[in-house]
Structure 1
Amino acid sequence: MSHPNAADPNAAGAATARSYPCRSCGATLEYAPGTHRMRCPYCRQEQPIAPTGREVREHDFAMLARLPVKPRETAGAAHMFVCPGCHAHTESDTLSEKCQFCGTPLVAEAGAIERIVPEAMIPFGIDRDGARAALRKWTSSRWFAPSSLKKVTEAETFKGSYLPYWTYDASTVSDYRGQRGDHYWVTETYTVTENGQTRTATRQVRKTRWSSASGRVSRAFDDVLVAGTGRVPARQLEKLTPWPLAQVVPYQQEYLAGFQTVRYDIEPESGFESAKQQMAEVIEDDCRRDIGGDEQRVSSVDTHYFDLTFKLVLLPVWFLTYLHGGKTWQVMVNAHTGEVIGKRPHSAAKIASAVLAVVAVIAVVVFLVLRARGGGY
């Protein structure tokens, strides 16, 4: 990364970033979340984002062999932004971000640096104020949270990022083997001693009759979602679901202006292995339903995949960091639904008070029970 005064916009390997000048004041426009418009952060002038008319397409895996080889050794390798505002050179591994010197939105031409370009996206639907409101609602609803946590409003940092995801479609045929368990009841005789007397009694006991089972099930999968980046733990990203994938729009650079866009570092072939794990859980449930009975055991499943397709989509997330009690806490907000996930502090005093309250209630109950028993003598 270099200072603008030392930058040469004609340097080898540098590419001028795409910008969108305001027709009113000449500043650079940014995407306005929740709209299909770009807005000037200074004079508030707006400009509509013209639809491309292009349809969102699915790609088959054979397409990968036809793609030209990009001049990079690993996915997500860095490239050079040249700021159209101050002409600073910024080395980056993102598709879009802001110039750290003048704040100008920087958007790269995806086709120039990516092996696979985004096909679709869900634009930001919640702006920074909306993310702050979601955080405020989240903190105020947390049990055992310190009272001061509810006052967190301005002491946060916000970063809006598009994250890359792969979606996979597939038709599957699965042959399975297992066992079917059918319940039945038998009468069991046993002895019991009461008041020194032994007598014979009977009871109904449930047993399971197991028999071999095998068969074939079929299922079509649509938009199985797999994160295309390892920068954020997959388990955390799973908590941001569901995403309304039926509402994606064709990829357009204008929606990236003003936000960071993370490039994929997980290739579609590797992502498909994760997708197959998701599919396997659904397929096993199909096998169990096909086996029937009261219980099922699935010992083996052999699945064949047909009509495989994939696409790269960008999904919006607000990353929020706030300070509380001298410690940094991080949360994420689904920038379409407002879902908030993350960690937060606990109030030791509130937890202690709750424990004492529970102990007090138990003590009262025990006292009343003992008193009732004592009154009965």
Structure 2
Amino acid sequence: MTDPTLPPPSAAPREFPCGACGARLEFAAGADRMRCPYCGSEEGVPTATRRIREHDIRSLFTRRPAAQVAEYRFVCRGCGAHVQGDHLARSCQFCTAPLVADDSADTQVVPEAVLPFAVDRPAAREALGTWARSRWFAPNSLKEVDEAERFKSTYLPHWTFDAQTVSDYRGQRGEHYWVTETYTTQQNGKTVTQTRQVRKTRWYPASGRVSRFFDDVLVNGTTQLAPERVERLQPWPLQAARPYAHEYLAGHEALRYDVEPEQGLENAKQIMAGTIEGDCRRDIGGDEQRVASVSTAYSRVTGKLVLLPVWAGAYLHGGRSWQIVVNGCTGEVQGERPYSAVKITAAVLVAIALIALTVFLFYQYG
């Protein structure tokens, strides 16, 4: 019996030899096919023999935590090098041959689905250039950026969760009404009585129950890239996801998750809570709502691990490196950007001048 505390033994990774020249095939972004980077021969990705499944949440919780899982150890068939790392897929650092781990004996949750790359490198470069040229208050030189250093196609792990929820709430319903108020002002040394309509709110106690089925609540499964930046890449066309196959990873990097499914579910519940509160407010009705408490029961909770595609890297500007990520399906760009102090200062001065001119004209002709 293998000791689960020991790293997995060295093994040959999954490879996909080209039938024409013997080189290693890679999955071609946007083509939905395997392609040889040397002779250009193509092969189709095998048709899936199964459907994407949702897994009972208890089965996800029984897997070993990421912190206890050893790195993969590859033996490259291209050059014989031994390569080690925690990626599901990567390239050999010596001969650049694509390496995809055999995860059949992995003690982590195995990906259930993958969203293949639809944006290739030229399209990602074009999206980066468009993004750079559209940044307000950016230095003029940023508009020339159309390429990123270390720009790598990378699959990021994400959890998706389904759940049936039933929520009991307590709160208040506010209904607006109008009253006429009388007030006085001084005009030309005289006291003038005037009236105005003032809106007020009556509050009534409210309670009730709402229910909702959540489908594919998406939670980032890695902290290796800034989570807030990855989250802003949404939405993802999850309906285009395919059952997981090693072929989709060939020639690309793929990270293993470091956010455990337990924490992922808690993050998903926080996302659900915002939607549930909206349901409570709509159920309360009226003109305004106050939600004092919500108690939610969860059932039929399932989850799965999905790999989502990004182009991740950095571009050089002003003597430093700026991180960037591009959605590998939609081309959405999120990243760091520099600001031009000269442009910001000029904008502030123009705003001050406009305010001063407006005040002058008001007192001169008002």
Normalised by the length of structure 1, the TM-score is 0.89
Distance 1:372 1:115, change over 3 A: closer
Q: Which amino acid aligns with 1:39?
A: R
| Unpaired runs of at least 5, structure 1 | 1-10
Pair 1:143-2:110 in alignment: no
Distance 1:76 1:354, change over 3 A: farther
8 Å contact 2:76–2:92 — kept in the other structure?
Answer: yes
Pick aligned residue for 2:19 from 18, 23, 35: 23
8 Å contact 2:69–2:108 — kept in the other structure?
Answer: no
Pair 1:333-2:326 in alignment: yes
Cα shift at 1:309: 1.0
Residue 13 (structure 1) aligns with: 9
Residue 189 (structure 1) aligns with: 182
Normalised by the length of structure 2, the TM-score is 0.92
Residue 122 (structure 1) aligns with: 115
Distance 1:265 1:12, change over 3 A: closer
Q: State the distance in 1 between where 2:357 and 2:188 align.
A: 35
Residue 49 (structure 2) aligns with: 53
Residue 108 (structure 1) aligns with: 101
Q: Which amino acid aligns with 1:51?
A: T
Pick aligned residue for 1:342 from 318, 326, 335: 335
Cα shift at 1:94: 0.9
Cα shift at 1:367: 5.3
Cα shift at 1:182: 1.1
Aligned length: 360
Distance 1:56 1:334, change over 3 A: same
8 Å contact 1:31–1:257 — kept in the other structure?
Answer: yes
Q: For structure 1, which segment, 238-247 or 112-121, has the greater mean C-alpha deviation from structure 2 after superposition?
A: 112-121
Q: Which amino acid aligns with 2:332?
A: E
Q: State the distance in 2 between where 1:12 and 1:54 align.
A: 28
Residue 36 (structure 2) aligns with: 40
Cα shift at 1:194: 3.0
Q: State the distance in 1 between where 2:215 and 2:125 align.
A: 34
Residue 234 (structure 2) aligns with: 241
Distance 1:49 1:93, change over 3 A: same
Q: State the distance in 2 between where 1:148 and 1:191 align.
A: 60
Q: State the distance in 1 between where 2:225 and 2:147 align.
A: 25
Q: State the distance in 2 between where 1:109 and 1:237 align.
A: 27
Q: State the distance in 1 between where 2:103 and 2:111 align.
A: 8
Pair 1:278-2:300 in alignment: no
Distance 1:371 1:288, change over 3 A: closer
Pair 1:267-2:260 in alignment: yes
Cα shift readout 1:69-91 (whole Å, capped 9, x = no counterpart)? 66x87255312111111121112
Distance 1:14 1:317, change over 3 A: same
Q: State the distance in 1 between where 2:196 and 2:130 align.
A: 55
Cα shift at 1:306: 1.3
Q: Equivalent residue of 2:154, what SS?
A: strand
8 Å contact 1:97–1:260 — kept in the other structure?
Answer: yes
Residue 354 (structure 1) aligns with: 347
8 Å contact 2:174–2:204 — kept in the other structure?
Answer: yes
Distance 1:309 1:185, change over 3 A: same
Distance 1:210 1:329, change over 3 A: same
Distance 1:194 1:12, change over 3 A: closer
Q: What root-mean-square deviation, in Å, do the aligned CA atoms of Structure 1 and Structure 2 show? A: 2.1
Cα shift at 1:351: 2.6
Distance 1:350 1:190, change over 3 A: closer
Q: Equivalent residue of 1:111, what SS?
A: helix
Cα shift at 1:142: 1.1
Cα shift at 1:338: 0.2
Q: State the distance in 1 between where 2:281 and 2:94 align.
A: 59
Q: Which amino acid aligns with 1:273?
A: E
Q: State the distance in 2 between where 1:57 and 1:320 align.
A: 32
Which has more radius of gyration?
1
Q: State the distance in 1 between where 2:132 and 2:318 align.
A: 15
| Unpaired runs of at least 5, structure 2 | 1-6
Residue 3 (structure 2) aligns with: none
Q: Equivalent residue of 1:346, what SS?
A: coil
Q: Which amino acid aligns with 2:274?
A: E
Q: Which amino acid aligns with 2:174?
A: G
Cα shift readout 1:292-348 (whole Å, capped 9, x = no counterpart)? 111111111010111111111000011121111111111110010000011111222
Q: Equivalent residue of 2:67, what SS?
A: coil
8 Å contact 1:75–1:266 — kept in the other structure?
Answer: no
Q: For structure 1, which segment, 216-225 or 136-145, has the greater mean C-alpha deviation from structure 2 after superposition?
A: 136-145
8 Å contact 1:161–1:319 — kept in the other structure?
Answer: yes
8 Å contact 1:227–1:234 — kept in the other structure?
Answer: yes
Q: Which amino acid aligns with 1:117?
A: V
8 Å contact 2:60–2:261 — kept in the other structure?
Answer: no
Q: State the distance in 1 between where 2:8 and 2:344 align.
A: 61
Distance 1:201 1:73, change over 3 A: closer
Q: State the distance in 2 between where 1:58 and 1:40 align.
A: 34
Distance 1:308 1:107, change over 3 A: same
Q: Which amino acid aligns with 2:319?
A: G
Q: Which amino acid aligns with 1:124?
A: F
